Amino acid sequence: MYTEKRAKTQLNTSVNETVHTENISLNRQVYQRLKLALSLGLRRQILFAICDDLNSRNRIAARLHSTLAYPVEKVLYQRANAGELMTPAYPRLVTLRLNVNDPNPIAQINQWLANYPPPIVGESTNNPGRPLPIPAFQIVGVEMLTKEPVAVQRLFLNYLRLGEQQLFGQESSRFLESSLLFWVSRPWLSAIQQSAPKFWHCRTGVFVFAGEPTPTVDNRGHGEGFADSHRSERENSQDLGFDEEKISQEIKHTNKPDFPGTANADLITQIPEKSPIESPQVNNNQNLPSLSHINQELQNLVKATLNTDDNGQTQQILWEIEQLHIQQAKGEELAIAYQNLGNFYRLQIEQGQPTLENLMIAILAYQEAVSHDESSPQLPDILNDLGTLYWMLHRIPEDKEEAKIYIQQGIDFYKLALKLITGDSQPETYARIQNNLGTAYGDLARFAEAVENWNFAVVAYHEAIRYRQEEIEPLKYAACQNNLGTAYWHLGQYNEPVENLTKAIAAYKLAAVHYQPTDEPLKYGMIQNNIGTAYWNLSQYEQPMENLQLAIQVYREALKYRTAVDVPHAYAATQNNLGIAYWHLGNQPQTTKEDQEKLIKLCINAYQEAVNTAHLFSNLNLSFDLWMTHNNLGLAHYHLVTDISFNGDKKLLSQHLESALENHLQALSGFGKQTENYQTTISHIVSIIRTFHNELGIQGQSLGLSKLPGHLLPDILPKL
Residue pair 443/264 in contact by the 8 Å Cβ criterion: no
Instruction: Report d(CA 461, CA 444) in Å as an integer.
Output: 15
Return phi, psi of residue 710, to 5°.
-60, -35
Residues 6+ positions from 127 with CB-CB distance below 8 Å: 80, 84
DSSP assignment, residue 140? E
| C-alpha pair distances (Å), 662 with each of 122, 654, 672, 683 | 72, 12, 18, 14
CA 98 vs. chain centroid, Å, equals 35
Residues 6+ positions from 522 with CB-CB distance below 8 Å: 561, 562, 566, 567, 570
The answer to whether residue 63 scores a pLDDT higher than 90 is no
The answer to whether residue 249 scores a pLDDT higher than 50 is no
Lowest mean pLDDT among 15-24, 113-122, 204-213, 459-468: 15-24
Q: 374 vs 311, which has greater pLDDT?
A: 374
Which range of 75-89, 234-248, 612-626 scores highest in mean pLDDT? It is 612-626
Q: 536 vs 239, which has greater pLDDT?
A: 536
Please give the pLDDT value at position 15: 31
Please give the pLDDT value at position 86: 39
pLDDT tens for each residue of 186-198:
888 888 888 888 8
pLDDT-above-90 percentage for the chain: 37
**What does pTM read for this prediction?**
0.66
User: What is the average pLDDT across 39-44?
Assistant: 74
Instruction: Report d(CA 7, CA 187) in Å as an integer.
Output: 11
Helix/strand/coil (H, E, C) string of 107-129? HHHHHHHHHCCCCEECCCCCCCC
Residue pair 402/390 in contact by the 8 Å Cβ criterion: no
Please give the pLDDT value at position 268: 25
The answer to whether residue 164 scores a pLDDT higher than 90 is no
The answer to whether residue 16 scores a pLDDT higher than 50 is no
Instruction: Report d(CA 702, CA 235) in Å as an integer.
Output: 78
The answer to whether residue 496 scores a pLDDT higher than 80 is yes
- Residue 614: closest CA among 577, 656, 662, 564: 564
User: What is the average pLDDT across 547-571?
Assistant: 96
What is the identity of the amino acid at 443?
D
7: alpha, beta or left, given left = phi > 0 and alpha = psi -120 to 50?
alpha
* pLDDT tier, 482 (very low <50, low <70, confident <90, very high otherwise): very high
User: What is the average pLDDT across 299-310?
Assistant: 70
pLDDT tens for each residue of 359-393:
888 888 888 888 788 788 888 999 999 999 989 98
Please give the pLDDT value at position 64: 80
Where is 46: in which H helix or E strand?
strand 45-50
Please give the pLDDT value at position 584: 96
129: alpha, beta or left, given left = phi > 0 and alpha = psi -120 to 50?
left
Q: What size, in residues, is the chain?
A: 720
The answer to whether residue 609 scores a pLDDT higher than 90 is yes
Q: Supply the mean pLDDT for the chain.
A: 79
pLDDT tens for each residue of 662-680:
999 999 999 988 899 999 9
Q: 618 vs 430, which has greater pLDDT?
A: 430
